[in-house]
Amino acid sequence: MKNIEIVAATDLNLNRAIRMVGKKHAYTDAEKMYQNEDFDIAYIATPHHLHKSMIKQAFENGKHVHCEKPVAHSLEDAREIRDLDKKYGDLKLGFNYMHRYDHNCYRLVSGIQNNHLGEVYYANCNIFFSRNESYFEKGPWRAKKELAGGGTLITHGSHTIDIMIWALGEPISVMGKIDTVKFKNIEVEDVGFGIVEFENEVYAQINDSLFVTPPMSILKIRTELQIFGKKGRGYYKGVWPFSSIKWKGVKKYKIKKDTKGISHFGRSAKAFGDWILYDKPYFNTVEESSKVLRLISALYKSSETGKKEQIEKL
């Protein structure tokens, strides 16, 4: 990443921070890092419930913030983060929904937004992960509703759901069902389903699980987004570095790549840097990234009530 340099790191496990930046610039206390180091951006990669407090801390220390997804573990925190973003208007805040910087995702969304399939009817969004018990043992917070905000939908599925929303527009309601069918000692879902209605009368189906055996991919991750329109259909299969896109019934959709770089993670980080350096718009603002949380929160509520739920505004 030519416009990004990592200069310091904080981790409760000091050795992990040292491996990132060396002993001189490694910390276990973030406030000490802010006091001692000169840098522009704080990159936050912590459990979901810590995002709000750490974004606030970074802003108070005059730092731009690039935060891992999701925006927060609850809509209440997301709203407070939005207010912080407005309060510190001279600082940039973005979230690493990095699949927006996968070139094939970008091609699919650009094609849909430019009417390549004609009128869009519906979409299928499939997320297949292969996890075992060690996933929760190594990160116990992932099993806690209070800390993670949810399970596979918010932790895994939200990347592909984000692309679906980017392509189809504003979601207005959802009928959902979640359950815990394999990992019985966790508080969050390991499987989730949803039927989403968008404001333009397009529908989408969500199918997300984290226990597919055997894995569908050597990376133990397989995501799919199929969009069906009047002229044909587009089919994205991921994830990077083996992502692909196919068009059926229409010609390939060609568009210039938005951001250069090897990986979608690197391109996302570079794009955030370009937002700061050159004011080039970044795809993943707090408003855009909160759309995923809004949808998933309504899906969770629908699973509890057994009814179709409206998707709340931020």
**pLDDT-derived band at 3, boundaries 50, 70, 90:** confident
What confidence score (pLDDT) does residue 239 get?
87
Nearest CA-CA partner of 3 in 275, 307, 203: 275
Closest CA to 97 of 303, 234, 296, 286: 286
- 9-95 has which fold? Rossmann fold (3.40.50)
Angle of helix 286-305 versus helix 75-87 axis, rounded to 10 = 160
Of the candidates 7, 66, 13, 68, the residue with the CA atom closest to the CA atom of residue 42: 66
| 125, pLDDT greater than 90 | yes
For the chain, the average pLDDT equals 96
Query: What are the tens digits of pLDDT across the range 66-76?
Result: 999 999 999 99
Length of the chain: 314
Tokens (6 digits) for 308: 């179709």
The percentage of the chain sitting over the pLDDT mark of 70, rounded to a whole number, equals 100
Distance CA 279, CA 4 (A): 15
Q: Which of 253, 246, 236, 230 is nearest to 122 (CA)?
A: 230
Average pLDDT value for residue range 201-229: 96
- Closest C-alpha to 58, from 75, 81, 74, 78: 81
Q: Distance (Å, rounded) from C-alpha 185 to C-alpha 174?
A: 27
Binned at pLDDT 50, 70 and 90, residue 1 comes out as confident
Share of the chain above pLDDT 90, in %: 93
Which superfamily is assigned to 98-246+286-310 in CATH? Answer: Dihydrodipicolinate Reductase; domain 2 (3.30.360.10)
| pLDDT tens profile 229-261 | 999 999 999 988 889 999 999 999 999 877 777
Domain ranges of the chain: 9-95, 98-246+286-310
Q: Tell me, what's the pLDDT at 256?
A: 84
Alpha-helix residue ranges (DSSP H) falling in 149-279: 152, 158-168, 264-278
* β-strands 221-229, 233-238 pairing: antiparallel
Instruction: Give the model's confidence band at 81: pLDDT under 50 very low, under 70 low, under 90 confident, else very high.
Output: very high
Q: Stretch 111-125: mean pLDDT, rounded?
A: 97
Alpha-carbon distance of 153 to 186, in angstroms, equals 14
Helix (H, G, I), strand (E, B), or coil: what is residue 52? helix
